[in-house]
Amino acid sequence: MRVNVTVNGEQRQADDVWEGESLLYVLRERLGLPGSKNACEQGECGSCTVYLDGVPVCSCLVAAGQAQDREVRTVEGLAEGDALDPVQEAFVEAGAVQCGFCTPGLVVAAHDLVNRVPQPSDPEIREALAGNLCRCTGYEKILDAVKLAAQKKSAR
């Protein structure tokens, strides 16, 4: 089947999508957007998090057909030209990236949080990121990054 979807503001089309193919697969393998990662492919780790109509979802759990005529925003769509989003900057500056496999999903989840809650508390950050697993950092630097991202956003 053919899937038409708006991705990062551009109308995109994927052909020969098989029933049951995930949005994650279409993004990575058909549309050339490998930012979203496929770690568990069963909704457990959050590394595939993207916005679907403005709501963060695990794209491995979304059938590509469900994205028909909808809007997807991936980690690649957060920067404005060469300027990183404040959340992306904060992850770099806080040293919240080690292997980086979890990072795209965490960045999207954190981006959603700081847009909804300008100054999130530690429990709010932990709650918002509870579906995103990281095997490397121990999460402390990730917490620091989200707090720094909130500061950066409020300063803009």
- For position 138 contacting ligand FES by CB under 6 A, the verdict is no
Q: Which is nearer to ligand FES, 40 or 63 (CB)?
A: 40
- For position 143 contacting ligand FES by CB under 6 A, the verdict is no
Q: How far is the CB of 154 from ligand FES (least distance, A)?
A: 26
* Residue environment code for 67-82, b if the CB has 16+ CB neighbours within 10 A, otherwise e: beebebbbbbbbeeee
Token pair of 138, please?
A: 């121990």
Q: How far is the CB of 118 from ligand FES (least distance, A)?
A: 25
Q: Which residue has the tokens 């098989």?
A: 18
Give ∠ CA 123-46-107 in degrees, rounded to 5. 70
**Ranges within 13-72 binding ligand FES (CB under 6 A):** 38-41, 43-48, 58, 60
Using DSSP's 3-state secondary structure scheme, residue 18 falls into coil
CA distance 129 to 143: 9
Q: Which is nearer to ligand FES, 49 or 83 (CB)?
A: 49
Q: How far is the CB of 80 from ligand FES (least distance, A)?
A: 25
